[in-house]
Amino acid sequence: MMIKAGIIGATGYTGVELFRLLVKHPEVEVAWATSESYSGRMFSNVYPHLNAVSDLVLKSLPEVQQDRADVVFCCLPHRTAMSVLPSFLEKQVKVVDLSADFRMATAESYTRWYGVKHSCPHLLTEAVYGLPEFNRNLISKASLVANPGCYPTSVILPLAPFLQKGLIQETDIIIDSKSGVSGAGRKLSLRTQFVEINENTVPYDVGRLHRHTGEIEEQLSSLANRQCRVLFAPHIVPMDRGILSTIYVRLREDISQEQALEVIKNRYKDEPFIRLLPDRLPETRFVQGTNWCDIAVSRVDGADRLVIISAIDNLMKGASGQAVQNMNIMFGFKETEGLQ
Amino acid sequence: MMIKAGIIGATGYTGVELFRLLVKHPEVEVAWATSESYSGRMFSNVYPHLNAVSDLVLKSLPEVQQDRADVVFCCLPHRTAMSVLPSFLEKQVKVVDLSADFRMATAESYTRWYGVKHSCPHLLTEAVYGLPEFNRNLISKASLVANPGCYPTSVILPLAPFLQKGLIQETDIIIDSKSGVSGAGRKLSLRTQFVEINENTVPYDVGRLHRHTGEIEEQLSSLANRQCRVLFAPHIVPMDRGILSTIYVRLREDISQEQALEVIKNRYKDEPFIRLLPDRLPETRFVQGTNWCDIAVSRVDGADRLVIISAIDNLMKGASGQAVQNMNIMFGFKETEGLQ
Amino acid sequence: MMIKAGIIGATGYTGVELFRLLVKHPEVEVAWATSESYSGRMFSNVYPHLNAVSDLVLKSLPEVQQDRADVVFCCLPHRTAMSVLPSFLEKQVKVVDLSADFRMATAESYTRWYGVKHSCPHLLTEAVYGLPEFNRNLISKASLVANPGCYPTSVILPLAPFLQKGLIQETDIIIDSKSGVSGAGRKLSLRTQFVEINENTVPYDVGRLHRHTGEIEEQLSSLANRQCRVLFAPHIVPMDRGILSTIYVRLREDISQEQALEVIKNRYKDEPFIRLLPDRLPETRFVQGTNWCDIAVSRVDGADRLVIISAIDNLMKGASGQAVQNMNIMFGFKETEGLQ
Amino acid sequence: MMIKAGIIGATGYTGVELFRLLVKHPEVEVAWATSESYSGRMFSNVYPHLNAVSDLVLKSLPEVQQDRADVVFCCLPHRTAMSVLPSFLEKQVKVVDLSADFRMATAESYTRWYGVKHSCPHLLTEAVYGLPEFNRNLISKASLVANPGCYPTSVILPLAPFLQKGLIQETDIIIDSKSGVSGAGRKLSLRTQFVEINENTVPYDVGRLHRHTGEIEEQLSSLANRQCRVLFAPHIVPMDRGILSTIYVRLREDISQEQALEVIKNRYKDEPFIRLLPDRLPETRFVQGTNWCDIAVSRVDGADRLVIISAIDNLMKGASGQAVQNMNIMFGFKETEGLQ
């Protein structure tokens, strides 16, 4: 019997990607989807590629309060999600939250990075950070999964194995990320108008300014069991989807290219969505539309440095694909179901 | 009276950009242009945007040996330029070489990075590295100017002032560059086919593998007067033109954001083509089609690190624009002539 | 039990798209795939997105002659396919040919449009034109299916219902098509280099010069049962995939917008891959990655003209998706299997 | 002595393009520029590529009423321009209006196509339609020039010579135009967000719905001296700039390809900005950043049809370049000044 899923905030880019995945998922029925801007209209009216695929009518949030759902995916902006989700959790609905509202460990760090007081700090402890490669067990028992940010996913997966083995300096980590434009969401913005970003490469929030810095450092520190510190420089490049993160680290020990590859290979050999490229560097095109995280390492000649490069599709492993992976784990489905 | 210029290898992207600049230059007449693939055809036949702009007929290299020229621009690939240019120098023709053949300081380093023996090593000492902001005097007296590479230009200009003042560690320099596709030239290649690079971000030659590493290190070391070492990671992003270099350095002294800005401002205050963006980070779009090098700095909070970001148009300040700037200096023209 | 499929010429864009579809198809096992340029290498080595998805090793054509296959898909260029396919047909292997070699009705018309003599004219009569919406029955019994061209698919589907009902002038048909760059194939070409086609719109073969003119006219004439004549103007626009065809026709009778919509709706109401957009015009993005053909009509005010607009993904309904649809019909599978 | 120019609404795409042209124009000084959204800020703050190029501070419209100007360029949206321009005309300032407000011949046709009453209908008679190739004399004496729309420019220039000679049917004209995204202006819109239009081709207002239909028909009718009627189908393709118009006409007499070429060649042989491509079809890339209108014709074999293709840069010959050309004529400057 299929479970019933609800999607809150379904008309943003992560929401519609999630919908695309769930309608094909053999264990899931999308029971409802909400949109404040488009409620009352057919989903296919907002996204014409859904014509003849789905005749779902979008609802407003109040309308779905009585509708049954076994799992709810929340694609609302941060600050909004935390005011909406408690009512679902109280009804024993499992929740995968794609916003940032339950990703931070404490109310203090949430306030530091998101500038507002957290409205339900007790849920922060309950929430599980939804990175299956590290928290699979916790996810399987969780009621509330905080789905990781797109940049943090592209950074934590390649870095953590080296940090956990103590092979790299934990305070000399430089992350240069290049993201497609869909990462900025669907809200209107001059910065994401075609003529402004086409034929352009744009750095922003360089240093320790971007909110994902906090998320990355908290997770790496927790996994490494010591305080990690990163320098993070995100960039937007003119493509729809994809994140390529080029990460520069300093080695504590002199390991070879082969040994560095082994670190990744051993750590992730049973993981269904991590792929080590043996003889090429990752490119965002190789992972487009998939839930893969591609990783390569490059030992720098004559220096104590390693460059680690990862590529993900920001809307898949960086958001909706990973959300479905988390749901699969929460409900005991095959982890790759609906993701291949 | 106008000087006569010749362009060798005029049908590549730097060649045609040079032609575009020279035909509008008030002091220069393009006397001839060569192309091995298209000799005998009109330039406007190869590049239809030149229709009704120029009726120049492309020649082969042997055909122009007797043609007068006061200056020759060489847009041939490296390894080829060095076999062609001596004959022009012997005839007292001034040469601006856009290939890499005369950029390295010694025949040994040339062989190391370009894999072949240099055919006229004596000219390496004579050749002046054509970065006007540092070698203006030498350029004004030079017969042979080695026009800098596109990546090196985007790296040396923002870095050198800090190195010269001893403010940063000279062996802990990480350069993450993002280049448009025209940087790869016009020769057919699967990598630069539209479908392969559109909607893609591609790292390559990461570490110390790219040839420009040698050029960058030699120039920085010479300017800093001590051995510099860089980690260089070039990337291709899906746009025609532009290089954005994000450079991560470690400070030797604790300087503030304002002090870091002052370093650039003071060093370049009289420079016609260096622009410090006071309150924004550079974007490649801001310099598209111009000879500007935009620079910004970002002092990282709570770390001894500085991020320096530069943007140039790889075909302008990164190639043909800088070549014209060099010619202006060599012939005593106004340095900005034909470049605004 | 799954059928065994072979792919000839698997490393072009249609070949790899076909492979992507077939590996997920529940009734099909890809037994082998050939490539003249890459034989002996893993498919995932040529297309890194296949890493960990498939470990198939590419073979040369002679190597697969003894390998069993129930169906063979041929993705070779026209002129080559006809020399390769007879040997498979003789072994009772069913064939879907994605080249143009078996699309024309007669050897004469093949020679007229493709400039060479047909090497096995007897097979032209046997071959079925693989447009399921019109030839479903014939396809189900065919040994050799000629998969339609991408432009013809985007043109015949929207036009044929009007022609069959005699509602439009059959000799006053103007087709203005806009295609993504993948339509030109993966072979190296200056025209499809990123810098040449990005930021560009390019008309070519305007009038009656493009080979697909012949295919379109033959099929329309056969469906309409009278001689049709078209003016065809293909254009390339800077995107990977998709064809939008804007078709201008003259009405024989004065029908309304609603009546025009009804013509499409009635003709295709049971078709699984034709979609009438009720209140919007088609856009290529709506069909990207799918086997849909979207159609809209626009009755022009105060004129006897109708504009019919269609959108397909040139690699899906325009090539590999339609090839799988044909295979499904040939083997009695559900027609939409592997295509949703 | 230089004339003083003012720009009203300078921060849209046509405004900034105009500014780019005027700052390099040897006869013009930009005295002021207005922006309602950004008044009080430096122009270079809104468009960082103007840093170190201009230190102009944007003003609001009331602030410039007393500022002297010899010519004012109006880049406001239609409906707004007509309420602003009379006050300048009263002060004997010459005006080039880039909006649609003074392009129509009568107040009735303005109301029909723009849906509002015209606020100063007497100026419609006074205004000269600023297409120099046809109205040079009138422009030279005009106080108020209505600068043509981008689509109409790309259509009237290639069509008019054939209509004026009576060579083509004036009521069977089909125009299929493909425009870059900048044609939609800089205002925020979901349709022009990168992710919505990248990798997409979008038809809109097909038939006789687009406002430029009225402008095209009025001008063609006036030039041909008989009532012309067009079917107009605009499309947006994913590029910044450029319009390619493919125009399908029916011949009244059987003229050859050569004769058709002669019609264009003879009509425009003395025109500085019309270019006949002898052996290629126009592509938008050939005219990018220039004031050229490229034209080619293609006589269709075995039919009484001609296809006429034109390409312009929508921000240059389609807007700001043509505005400068008009100003040059109005003030007796060399017509090509500042445009090469």
pLDDT band of residue C279 (cuts 50, 70, 90) is confident
Nearest residue to D305 (alpha-carbon basis) of B291, A240, A320, C207 = C207
**In this complex, is the C-beta atom of B303 within 8 Å of any C-beta atom belonging to chain C?**
no
Report the chain A residue with the minimal C-alpha distance to residue C271. A52
Give the distance from residue A137's alpha carbon to the nearest chain C alpha carbon, in angstroms.
25
Domain-located, residue C132 = no
Pairing of strands A202-203, A230-236: antiparallel
User: Which chains have at least 3 CB atom pairs separated by less than 8 Å from chain C?
Assistant: A, B, D
One domain, residues A54 and A181: no
One domain, residues A120 and A178: no
**Pick from B110, B126, B142: which residue ends a domain?**
B126
Q: What percent of chain C has pLDDT over 70?
A: 100
Model pLDDT for residues B266-318, shown as the tens digit of each residue: 999 999 999 998 789 999 999 999 999 999 999 998 889 999 999 999 999 99
Contact D176, D143 (CB under 8 A): no
Could you say which residues from 179 to 208 on chain D have a Cβ atom under 8 Å away from some Cβ of chain C? 180, 196, 198-204, 206-208
The pLDDT assigned to B1 comes to: 81
Domain-located, residue A131 = no
One domain, residues B97 and B21: yes
Domain-located, residue D322 = no
Pairing of strands A71-74, A3-8: parallel
Domain-located, residue C239 = yes
Q: What interhelical angle do A321-330 and A13-23 show, nearest 10?
A: 50
One domain, residues C118 and C201: no
Interface probe with C: pick from A41, A46, A51, A182, most Cβ of C within 10 Å: A51
Residues of D in contact with A238 (CB under 8 A): 194, 198
Please list the residues that pair with D146 across neighbouring strands: D97, D129
The pLDDT assigned to C133 comes to: 98
Determine how many CB atoms are found less than 10 A away from the CB of residue A137: 11
The pLDDT assigned to B176 comes to: 98
Residue D5 tokens read as: 């120019």
Distance CA(A55)–CA(D154), nearest Å, equals 42
The pLDDT assigned to B14 comes to: 97
**In this complex, is the C-beta atom of A289 within 8 Å of any C-beta atom belonging to chain C?**
yes
Contact D231, D173 (CB under 8 A): yes
Which residue from D51, D52, D277 is facing B48, i.e. has the nearest CB? Answer: D277
Please list the residues that pair with D234 across neighbouring strands: D177
Pairing of strands D230-236, D202-203: antiparallel
Q: Mean per-residue pLDDT for D62-74?
A: 95
Domain-located, residue B244 = yes
Whether the per-residue pLDDT at C1 is higher than 90: the answer is no
Mean pLDDT, chain D, rounded, equals 96
Give the distance from residue D130's alpha carbon to the nearest chain A alpha carbon, in angstroms.
27
Distance CA(B32)–CA(B72), nearest Å, equals 9
pLDDT beneath 70, residues of chain B: none
Distance CA(D214)–CA(C315), nearest Å, equals 39
One domain, residues A176 and A277: yes
**Per-residue CA distances from B67 to B1, C67, C177, D24 (Å):** 18, 65, 48, 34
**In this complex, is the C-beta atom of D271 within 8 Å of any C-beta atom belonging to chain C?**
no
pLDDT band of residue C151 (cuts 50, 70, 90) is very high
Phi, psi of B95 (to 5 degrees): -130, 130
Instruction: Quickly tell me which residue has 């729309």 as its tokens.
Output: D149
Give me the active site residues of D, please.
Answer: 150
Which residue from C198, C203, C237 is facing D309, i.e. has the nearest CB? Answer: C203
Nearest residue to B158 (alpha-carbon basis) of B175, B145, B180, B179 = B175
Which residue from C48, C275, C280 is facing A280, i.e. has the nearest CB? Answer: C48
Contact across the interface for C195 and B188, Cβ inside 8 Å: no
Please list the residues that pair with B298 across neighbouring strands: B307
Report the chain A residue with the minimal C-alpha distance to residue C339. A24
Instruction: Quickly tell me which residue has 């907002």 as its tokens.
Output: A46
Distance CA(C155)–CA(C177), nearest Å, equals 9
Mean pLDDT, chain C, rounded, equals 96
One domain, residues D88 and D227: no
pLDDT band of residue C302 (cuts 50, 70, 90) is confident
Q: Mean per-residue pLDDT for C301-319?
A: 96
Could you say which residues from 25 to 84 on chain C have a Cβ atom under 8 Å away from some Cβ of chain D? none
Give me the active site residues of C, please.
Answer: 150
Residues of B in contact with C197 (CB under 8 A): 194
Q: What interhelical angle do D321-330 and D132-141 show, nearest 10?
A: 40
Contact across the interface for A199 and D238, Cβ inside 8 Å: no
Contact across the interface for A49 and C24, Cβ inside 8 Å: no
Domain-located, residue C134 = no
One domain, residues A93 and A177: no
D282 in helix, strand or coil?
A: coil
Q: Which residues contact C288 (CB under 8 A, 6 or more apart)?
A: A49, C241, C242, C313, D199
Give the distance from residue D203's alpha carbon to the nearest chain A alpha carbon, in angstroms.
14
One domain, residues C181 and C292: yes
Q: Mean per-residue pLDDT for C251-280?
A: 95
**DSSP element (H, E) containing D128:** strand D128-129
Whether the per-residue pLDDT at A302 is higher than 90: the answer is no
Contact D171, D182 (CB under 8 A): no
Determine how many CB atoms are found less than 10 A away from the CB of residue D17: 23
Q: Mean per-residue pLDDT for C193-212?
A: 95
Contact across the interface for B309 and A201, Cβ inside 8 Å: no
One domain, residues A308 and A171: yes
Contact B309, B247 (CB under 8 A): yes
One domain, residues C71 and C197: no
One domain, residues A165 and A122: no
**In this complex, is the C-beta atom of A277 within 8 Å of any C-beta atom belonging to chain C?**
yes
Give the domain range for residue C275: 151-314
Distance CA(A148)–CA(D35), nearest Å, equals 42
pLDDT band of residue C22 (cuts 50, 70, 90) is very high
Contact C247, C175 (CB under 8 A): yes
C41 in helix, strand or coil?
A: coil
Whether the per-residue pLDDT at A160 is higher than 90: the answer is yes
pLDDT band of residue C220 (cuts 50, 70, 90) is very high
Q: DSSP state, B300?
A: P
Q: Mean per-residue pLDDT for D108-122?
A: 96
Distance CA(C328)–CA(C139), nearest Å, equals 10
A vs C, Cβ pairs < 8 A, gives 36
CATH of the domain at B63: 3.40.50.720
One domain, residues B8 and B122: yes
Model pLDDT for residues B236-258, shown as the tens digit of each residue: 999 999 999 999 999 999 999 99
**Pick from A85, A111, A126: which residue ends a domain?**
A126
**Per-residue CA distances from C82 to B289, C88, C212, D96 (Å):** 50, 11, 18, 63
Number of domains in chain A: 2
The pLDDT assigned to B33 comes to: 98
Contact B295, B280 (CB under 8 A): no
Domain-located, residue B330 = no
Give the distance from residue A48's alpha carbon to the nearest chain C alpha carbon, in angstroms.
6
pLDDT band of residue A328 (cuts 50, 70, 90) is very high
Contact across the interface for C286 and A48, Cβ inside 8 Å: yes
Interface probe with C: pick from A286, A295, A316, A336, most Cβ of C within 10 Å: A286
Distance CA(C60)–CA(C8), nearest Å, equals 9
CATH of the domain at A213: 3.30.360.10
The pLDDT assigned to C89 comes to: 97
Give the distance from residue C305's alpha carbon to the nearest chain A alpha carbon, in angstroms.
26
Domain-located, residue A119 = yes
Distance CA(A181)–CA(D195), nearest Å, equals 7
Q: Mean per-residue pLDDT for D317-332?
A: 98
Give the distance from residue D48's alpha carbon to the nearest chain B alpha carbon, in angstroms.
6
Determine how many CB atoms are found less than 10 A away from the CB of residue D91: 12
Interface probe with C: pick from B179, B194, B315, most Cβ of C within 10 Å: B194
pLDDT band of residue C278 (cuts 50, 70, 90) is confident
Whether the per-residue pLDDT at C59 is higher than 80: the answer is yes
Residues of B in contact with A203 (CB under 8 A): 244, 246, 281-283, 309
Report the chain B residue with the minimal C-alpha distance to residue A173. B248
Query: Of the listed B75, B150, B228, B293, which one is catalytic?
Result: B150
Contact across the interface for B48 and D283, Cβ inside 8 Å: yes
Report the chain A residue with the minimal C-alpha distance to residue B238. A238
Model pLDDT for residues A198-213, shown as the tens digit of each residue: 999 999 999 988 999 9
**Per-residue CA distances from B109 to B105, B193, B337, C34 (Å):** 7, 33, 35, 44
